Amino acid sequence: MKPALSARFGFLVNEVSRLYSQQFDRLAREKLGLSQAQCRLLAVLAWHEGEEALSQVELAQRLGLTAMAVATMCDRLAAAGWIERREHPGDRRVNRLHIKPSARKALEQAMQLADQLTADALSGLNAAERKQLLALLSRARDGLLAAAAKEDAS
């Protein structure tokens, strides 16, 4: 007897994520010359603009990646002119990362790609169903965060 994986929450969420990620990565590489991971990195940097710029270690923590993986991505993004590293004034061992104007424009284009891909993915749903889907996924995320906090507290 085969398990009904397509009816299981964890399987379905992961499968949707995998398919979405693959398609976004392909589109971003074709149209922007950036991978999905690079777009995520730029998005996190842009999100923190106006605050103290992030170090590579802080960025790795926010992305859930190793410091080495982020260092490699930052090397490539800096060489391509998307980001720049600036020495921390109080600790020369630490570099702060700053997004460059060309990367902001690419990030806007990446968001447009994501919006179109989302529209394609949800094309079988009406506006009310789309809103409900996002609300339900948000509640599921909140449930997982609460479970993790409860686990951390014990």
The CATH number that applies at residue 81 is 1.10.10.10
59 Cβ partners below 8 Å, 6+ apart? Answer: 41, 44, 45, 70, 74, 97
pLDDT tens per residue, range 47-73: 988 778 898 999 999 999 999 999 999
Q: Residue 97 sits in which domain range?
A: 23-121
92 and 154 housed in the same domain: no
106 and 44 housed in the same domain: yes
Average pLDDT for residues 28-42, to the nearest whole number? 96
Q: What is Dmax (Cα atoms) for the chain?
A: 63
CA–CA separation, 70 and 72 (whole Å): 5
Confidence of residue 1 (pLDDT cuts 50, 70, 90): low
104 and 154 housed in the same domain: no
Long-range contacts of 61-69 (CB under 8 A, 24+ apart): 65/37
pLDDT recorded at residue 3: 72
36 and 77 housed in the same domain: yes
44 and 82 housed in the same domain: yes
pLDDT recorded at residue 95: 84
Question: Above 90 in pLDDT, residue 154?
Answer: no
113 and 130 housed in the same domain: no
CA–CA separation, 84 and 89 (whole Å): 15
pLDDT recorded at residue 76: 95
96 and 27 housed in the same domain: yes
Mean of per-residue pLDDT scores for the chain: 92
pLDDT tens per residue, range 121-147: 999 999 999 999 999 999 999 999 999
pLDDT recorded at residue 92: 78
154 and 95 housed in the same domain: no
93 and 113 housed in the same domain: yes
pLDDT recorded at residue 137: 95
CA–CA separation, 91 and 59 (whole Å): 17
**For the chain, how many structural domains are there in total?**
2
136 and 110 housed in the same domain: no
pLDDT tens per residue, range 92-108: 788 889 999 999 999 99
39 and 114 housed in the same domain: yes
107 and 139 housed in the same domain: no
In a domain, 17, yes or no: no
20 Cβ partners below 8 Å, 6+ apart? Answer: 117, 121
Average pLDDT for residues 29-34, to the nearest whole number? 96
In a domain, 91, yes or no: yes
